[in-house]
Amino acid sequence: MSLDRVAVITGSAQGLGKGIAEKLAGQGYKVVLSDINEEVLNETFEEFKGKDYEVSALKADVTNQQDHISLVDHAVEKFGKLDVYINNAGVEGEVEQMTEIDPKNVDFVLDVNVKGVLFGIQAAAKQLKKQGHGGTIINAASIAGHEGFDFLATYSASKFAVRGLTQVASKELAKDKITVNAYCPGIAATGMWDRLDEKFMEILGTEKGEALEQYSSSISLGRTQEPRDVANLVSFLASEEADYITGQSILTDGGMIYR
């Protein structure tokens, strides 16, 4: 299958981002992989090449505005255009009581999760406007962007901010036929939750795996999330079938947060 569509995906060397990239590549998208971890990025690139996907890769730090511009330029140089830009890269930050939050942690989380999305929107929008045929920007939010979670104040704040950026960008870019949406994952048994679990052990005294079990026990569908669950939603939002959806932050959590 071959589609004349080009997608850039930040934070796509592993985890949910890799799942999204593989879904799109498997559908025939030309995909630009990107991650700050160059070693893992190269491994994923070689893996995708081995599956005969049309793929390229470029290391990028999403907190650097110029790196987003370079990603867009790379996509255009490699594949001739840009259709979809997915701001997937993000960090969970620290698990800490609000009264004990370290300002350095706030700066780090907001730089990656908020500025990283803003810079991606800017770079993608400029190219999509220049091309003149519309396009799609998709941002990574979270269930924590719909409801604040205790001990995750900074992370929750950053994901609420992503929802705000998504709404504003969708309004400003609608005249250019550019849709802007966000996906809001729930609890996935990925490396991020492994790190969170360790931090909950430190602050709450839980046993290994206990925090994940407690949080996931409220999932109506009875299982934690897999990369394909998120990838299925993102692939729909990236498609032309979703061209009448914009400004939305859609939950994909198996039934945890009801809005």
Residues 6+ apart with CB under 8 A from 194: none
CB-neighbour burial class of residue 201 (10 A; exposed 0-12, middle 13-18, buried 19+): middle
Residue tagged 């990656």 (tokens):
112
The span from the CA of 132 to the CA of 100, in Å, is: 48
Residue tagged 């360790």 (tokens):
198
The catalytically annotated residue of 85, 159, 183, 215 is 159
Is 155 a residue of the active site?
Answer: yes
Is 159 a residue of the active site?
Answer: yes
Residue of 165, 56, 175, 77 whose CA lies nearest to 120: 165
The catalytically annotated residue of 29, 53, 85, 155 is 155
- Catalytic residue numbers read 155, 159
